[in-house]
Structure 1
Amino acid sequence: MKKLIKAGACLAVIPALLLAGCSQSASSEKQEPDSKEESAHTSEKQNDATKDETKNPSEPSYQAIEPSDAAQPLKSNYSSKQQAEMPLTEAHGDSTERSVPLGQTLEKGAEDQTEGPLKNNRIVSYYGNPHSENMGILGEYSPEDLMDKLKDQTKAYSELDPERPAIPAIELIATVAQRNPGEDGLYMHPTSDEDIERYAELAKENDALLILDVQLGRDTIMNQVKSLEKYLKLPYVHLAIDTEFHVEEGQVPGENLGHVDGEKVQEAIDYVSNLASENELPDKVVIVHQFADMIINNKEAIQPTKNVEVVLNNDGHGIAALKRSGYHQLVHNQPIQYGGFKVFYKKDEPVMTPEEVLELDPAPAFVNYQ
């Protein structure tokens, strides 16, 4: 399913994430483990992953992919001519002056009061659900092969910008919006605990982050966030909100464009902030996905806290020039704190290189691949 949505001066394409016609009991393209041995192994992992085994839970639990000794500072990877022309490739008739120096991830006028992962690093994530190839790269590879590819992609950013080494992250869709209302009429299907635990353990074993993404359907943001609380209490687990899939009575995800109010997003940010503070957890990241200006009302209500870094992630696949323009309008022109940028391996024209992604103003602190 593809729709073109006008977003200021750019066209953004709705990501084809939904499982058309799926039901709560039959939404996957791959099967769950059905042997007793596999089930027992999964249960053992689940018990291990949900325990707070960290001796110092307030200490960061991730490890950035270090650059090689030969890596050069970001600016040295671009000629003076390239640097002079960078704003032109993004502005599309708007101001061609950079708002912040090349490579800076904090948006103009923004501050970071946390000790979160984005303060000195970049996050590079792989997005999707293990039961559907159509929803992202997580459905295309085994967990082990996925991590190898993710680490290679992450290292490319560390090599390009060694002063801000990148951290690998798995962005798992924890609730999948669907066209079928399901038994509860919420038009969404929760990912199983077994799957979440499997990827939580994978992230932990590889010193990576796990980002749990909620697509909402007709449920509220807070209901979804609270349903994931036991995972958000893990030091390496963070939150993402897919805003375009939040629909109202009489609407269907994927057929109708969803909307959220910035105040509702802020409730989730504050909730995660309090969770981190009360449980002495490392500072958290909340990613807010958006590909059209009309999706989030009252965006000025969305603000970072002392415990939470906030990323506004520019989604949408298609022509690279339009993706740059969309980032300029949704991130550069409406600064909150950090910018994020999604790259589609199969649907972008062409697929932007890490060098091209980091030309953006400000440089994305979060880059996710689907």
Structure 2
Amino acid sequence: MKKRIRAGVCSIALPYLLLTGCSQAAITEKQVPGQNEKSQSAINEKPYDTKELAKSPRFALKPTYQAIEPSEKARPFETKYTKDELARIPISEANGDKRERSVPLGQTLQKGVADETEGPLQKHRIVAYYGNPNSTHMGILGEHSPQALMKKLKEQTRAYSELDPKRPAIPAIELITTIAQRNPGEKGLYVHPTPAADIDEYAKLAKDNHGLIILDVQLGRDSIMNQVKSLEKYLKLPYVHLAIDTEFHVKEGQVPGVNLGHVDGRNVQEAIDYVSNLTKENRLPDKFVVVHQFAGKIISNKSAIHPAKNVEVVLNNDGFGVPPLKTSGYLQLVQKEPIQYGGFKLFFKNDQPLMTPKDVLALDPAPAFINYQ
């Protein structure tokens, strides 16, 4: 069965990304009540005094996040599956025609891989909602007002804390900051930037709710480093992290959605090292970088990607479809080609049926990062 490609831009309906009409007009197709009154520069943090930073301990700025704590009744996830339920978890977990078996909660860190940082994934899991606030086609962020979104996100996050109380989950917003499109735009890069006011608003939303925000770049014909450097002022904040949507990176003569994108793992690593150095120089809490992948050929030189001293790395299995197809992709891309932590993406509208948190945590390794579109 051929894996269906998700559309992170304007449509998720067809096997190959349909970005028709994804010009600037698509970005403003919908205004959710409560989003018109933008915050006045939510990122008005004062510049850091480098001389003072040099005198401070390793972290001048402390983590601002708070995990959603489990209830007192929560117990580590271990359950019995019926034969029908076994069809929704990886083939490697099934055991012939045995009608039920116990599936213990697995570790989140890939076997044989260390985490030398003090990042959030050491002791926590991250649950994120993905999308852009100005479009209903790119994920759940465009379907709710900011406060309604955060309430729903916290409820989703709590479900994972209840199943794995030893690793309470942190709510996060994954905001698409560079949107791939078919229109080449003024610079011919086939991307449209999300307005700074939107980034400011959702960064403040995450901060005010003790969550995290992940800034996602879809690249188009631009380079990874150009896009990452354009986000530097945000990455200097302690609650901001990075995600790279690899399938939207195309070369000259190609168009996002018409042609399947590709990145070189060495360029991904350059971005990871850049974030690590930025974190060190600004005495920030350690960060993480999410690398999206749903097909093997999208990333070459994958072995070049590795965690850095100040950065954790999540390899996020990114594709929609029936559960056996999704879990098979996780097995091939994450379990068999490990980097550090596993991530798993779910699609509210395009996964049939939508896997439950219990299904997700049955994966091996148990994903440390789960995002919903």
Q: Same fold (TM over 0.5)?
A: yes
CA gap 1:32/1:142 in 2 versus in 1, 3 angstroms = closer
Q: Which moved more, 1:322-331 or 1:11-20?
A: 11-20
In the alignment, is the contact (CA less than 8 A) between 1:218 and 1:248 conserved in 2? Answer: yes
Determine the C-alpha separation between the residues in 2 that align with 1:235 and 1:177: 27
CA gap 1:227/1:317 in 2 versus in 1, 3 angstroms = same
Determine the C-alpha separation between the residues in 1 that align with 2:81 and 2:134: 46
CA gap 1:11/1:119 in 2 versus in 1, 3 angstroms = farther
Deviations 1:182-219 (A, max 9, x none): 01100000111100000010001000000000000000
The alignment partner of 1:147 has SS state of helix
In the alignment, is the contact (CA less than 8 A) between 1:179 and 1:254 conserved in 2? Answer: yes
Determine the C-alpha separation between the residues in 2 that align with 1:245 and 1:87: 29
State the 1:29 CA deviation.
Answer: 1.2
State the 1:87 CA deviation.
Answer: 11
State the 1:52 CA deviation.
Answer: 6.5
Deviations 1:155-181 (A, max 9, x none): 000000000000000000000000100
Equivalent residue number for residue 202 of structure 1:
205
CA gap 1:142/1:294 in 2 versus in 1, 3 angstroms = same
In the alignment, is the contact (CA less than 8 A) between 2:76 and 2:105 conserved in 1? Answer: no
Of 339, 347, 351, which aligns to 2:350?
Answer: 347
Structure 2: gaps spanning 5 or more residues: 11-19, 95-102
Identity fraction in percent: 66
2:22 aligned with 1:22: yes
State the 1:324 CA deviation.
Answer: 0.4
Of 124, 129, 147, which aligns to 2:127?
Answer: 124
2:295 aligned with 1:292: yes
* Matching residue's letter, 1:17: G
2:161 aligned with 1:153: no
2:67 aligned with 1:58: no
* Cα RMSD for the two superposed structures: 2.7
In the alignment, is the contact (CA less than 8 A) between 1:87 and 1:361 conserved in 2? Answer: no
**Going by fraction, where is helix more abundant, 1 or 2?**
1
Determine the C-alpha separation between the residues in 2 that align with 1:88 and 1:203: 32
Equivalent residue number for residue 229 of structure 1:
232
In the alignment, is the contact (CA less than 8 A) between 2:22 and 2:182 conserved in 1? Answer: yes
Q: How does 1:173-188 map to 2 (within 5 A)?
A: 173-188=176-191
Deviations 1:46-97 (A, max 9, x none): 435x76699964321100000000101123xx13889xx799733499xxxx
> How many residues get paired?
347
Equivalent residue number for residue 333 of structure 1:
336
State the 1:292 CA deviation.
Answer: 0.3
* Matching residue's letter, 1:367: I
2:251 aligned with 1:260: no
Deviations 1:247-286 (A, max 9, x none): 0011000110000000000000000000000000000000
State the 1:102 CA deviation.
Answer: 3.3
Equivalent residue number for residue 273 of structure 1:
276
Q: Which moved more, 1:10-19 or 1:172-181?
A: 10-19
Determine the C-alpha separation between the residues in 1 that align with 2:90 and 2:117: 32
In the alignment, is the contact (CA less than 8 A) between 1:74 and 1:103 conserved in 2? Answer: no
Equivalent residue number for residue 97 of structure 1:
none
Equivalent residue number for residue 90 of structure 1:
91
CA gap 1:230/1:88 in 2 versus in 1, 3 angstroms = closer
Structure 1: gaps spanning 5 or more residues: 1-9, 94-99
